[in-house]
Amino acid sequence: MNFATSIQNAIKKFMGKTVVDEESVNELVKEIQKALITADVNVKQVFELSKKIKEQSLSKEMLKGISVRQHVIKVIYDELASILGDSYTPRLDRHKVMLVGLYGSGKTTTSAKLAYFYLKKGLNPYLISVDNDRPAAKEQLKQLSEKIHSQFCTSEGSCVDIIKGCSHGAAKSDVVIVDTAGRNAFDSDLAKELKDTYDEFRPDEVFLVVSADIGQVAGKHARAFKEAVPITGVIVTKMDGSGKAGGALTAVAETGTKLAFIGVGEKTDNLEVYNSERFVSKLLGMPDFQSLMEQMKEIEKNINVEESQEFDLDTFYTQMKAAKSAGSVGSMLGNMLGQMNVDKNMAENVDEMMAKFEVMISAMTKKERKDPELVRKSSSRVARIAKGSGTSEKDVRNLINQFMKSKDIYSKFSKDRGFRNKISKLLKGGGNVFGM
């Protein structure tokens, strides 16, 4: 599972929770940690991030008008954005840019995209190819520069010779962009070539071009490149075709530099200035933060409606949990559990049981939660839920049976006002137990 998917799953699970408390936040943070560490992100950075998410999620200082659930997602959103660095502001003064990266990462395409970007900003770009490695490389950039009407320069000879040969023309333009050769894997030969080019060219910006689809290896490459030349920013290409944005995250974390641009297609205008908000939205699988907030409001509305209207699996779970957190519920809860016919072992391990219920319920669709009969009637649903929650089919059937029994008791109790009042009092502070 790649980085974006694991984070998205963790968030989906979290958003589906009826109760947001320390435990559910911890669980979410744990899953985010796992995802970040799998993506090679610096462990220290992961723990700092986790600490901040926990502290801020559970702090009382929330934005006005948003719920706890939204608040938690917003904290994660902000913290991820801060790990990726601030949004990039492109230089619009006269400056020199050098692009480095592996074969096929998109250097040549990106060189042309950048030239086009600056051209549109009113600057006069100048493209130089020092790629002596592939015979067609110079021709590729030449053709691209013709397409966008940018100046282009190259020559035979070493990288240093090419830069020298092009320096006269370069001096007359605003932005000079050097496209370098790549390798399948970084080696000392390339390192020397890049160092020599850097020393001769003296660029203001050195962009490492990383393809989003290389995933976690990006960190290793970033480190190697950074030893050769001082990387000032990362350009992640092929964001359009890959969900593996974790690689980019790693590259940035590893180099300690900022994301600068994002490539989102093969065309010359498929280049975006890196904007942390937009990028994290993609990472989290949300189109943008605003619509995420709206999406969550919708979810919450549904949850509230479900709770107040009928007794479904979510209600069942919330109430079990409320009953548990009420603490000394004593014999009354004992009685209820007895009536629910909860297996003695299970009742003794309420924690364990709740945890199991929770994962099983998270593995269900919304429809199934509302109508657990669907699950009871379908062995393929039972099998899917068991698999999705890492429990057994017996566990799933057991949950459904417990639910059915509780539902009976619920309807009986909800007609008996005296009993309802008693329980309400008993569980005061523990939540709206059994819908009363």
Q: Which of 104, 165, 169, 243 binds ligand GDP (CB under 6 A)?
A: 104
Q: Which of 203, 233, 263, 372 binds ligand GDP (CB under 6 A)?
A: 263
Neighbours of 369 (CB within 10 A): 22
Class of residue 282 by CB neighbours under 10 A (exposed 0-12, middle 13-18, buried 19+): middle
Q: Which of 17, 74, 107, 321 binds ligand GDP (CB under 6 A)?
A: 107
CB nearer to Mg ion: pick between 142 and 420: 142
Contacts of ligand GDP in 169-188 (CB under 6 A)? 182
Among ligand GDP, Mg ion, none, the one that 240 touches (CB under a kind-dependent 5 to 8 A) is: ligand GDP
Contact 52/79 with Cβ under 8 angstroms? yes
CA distances from 356 to 8, 232, 317, 353, 394 (A): 21, 48, 11, 5, 12
Neighbours of 278 (CB within 10 A): 17
Among Mg ion, ligand GDP, none, the one that 219 touches (CB under a kind-dependent 5 to 8 A) is: none
Q: How far is the CB of 266 from ligand GDP (least distance, A)?
A: 4
Q: How far is the CB of 407 from ligand GDP (least distance, A)?
A: 52
Of the candidates 191, 200, 244, the residue with the CA atom closest to the CA atom of residue 219: 244
- Asked if 109 is part of the footprint of ligand GDP (rule: CB under 6 A), the reply reads yes
Contacts of Mg ion in 75-114 (CB under 5 A)? 107-108
Residue that the structure tokens 């199991």 belong to: 356
Neighbours of 324 (CB within 10 A): 16
**Total residues at the site for ligand GDP (CB under 6 A)?**
18
- Asked if 240 is part of the footprint of ligand GDP (rule: CB under 6 A), the reply reads yes
Alpha helix (H) ranges present in 229-288?
A: 246-255, 276-283
Q: How far is the CB of 146 from Mg ion (least distance, A)?
A: 16
Cβ neighbours of residue 207 closer than 8 Å, sequence gap 6 or more? 97, 98, 99, 100, 110, 231, 232, 233, 234, 235, 260, 261
- Asked if 241 is part of the footprint of ligand GDP (rule: CB under 6 A), the reply reads yes
CB nearer to ligand GDP: pick between 18 and 237: 237
Per CB under 6 A, the segment of 51-59, 106-114, 344-352, 370-378 that binds ligand GDP is: 106-114
CB nearer to ligand GDP: pick between 107 and 370: 107
Q: What is the DSSP letter of 161?
A: H
Per CB under 6 A, the segment of 169-177, 259-267, 367-375, 414-422 that binds ligand GDP is: 259-267
Catalogue the E-assigned strands of 155-279. 175-179, 205-211, 233-237, 258-263, 271-273
Residue 236, strand partner residues:
210, 262
- Asked if 215 is part of the footprint of ligand GDP (rule: CB under 6 A), the reply reads no
Q: Which of 265, 285, 388, 435 binds ligand GDP (CB under 6 A)?
A: 265
Burial profile 217-244: b = 16 or more Cβ within 10 angstroms, e = fewer: ebbbbbebbbebbebbbbbbbbbeebbb
CB nearer to ligand GDP: pick between 241 and 431: 241
Residue that the structure tokens 């479904």 belong to: 312
- Asked if 138 is part of the footprint of ligand GDP (rule: CB under 6 A), the reply reads no
- Asked if 197 is part of the footprint of ligand GDP (rule: CB under 6 A), the reply reads no
Q: How far is the CB of 2 from Mg ion (least distance, A)?
A: 26
Contacts of Mg ion in 166-205 (CB under 5 A)? none
CB-facing half-sphere around the CA of 55: CA atoms within 13 A: 7
Q: How far is the CB of 182 from Mg ion (least distance, A)?
A: 6
CB nearer to Mg ion: pick between 141 and 427: 141
Cβ neighbours of residue 361 closer than 8 Å, sequence gap 6 or more? 313, 314, 317, 369, 399
Of the candidates 310, 329, 343, the residue with the CA atom closest to the CA atom of residue 425: 329
Of the candidates 279, 203, 258, 251, the residue with the CA atom closest to the CA atom of residue 102: 251
Per CB under 6 A, the segment of 78-86, 235-243, 310-318, 388-396 that binds ligand GDP is: 235-243
Q: How far is the CB of 207 from ligand GDP (least distance, A)?
A: 12
Residues that bind Mg ion (CB under 5 A): 107-108, 137
Residues that bind ligand GDP (CB under 6 A): 101, 103-109, 182, 237-238, 240-241, 263-266, 270
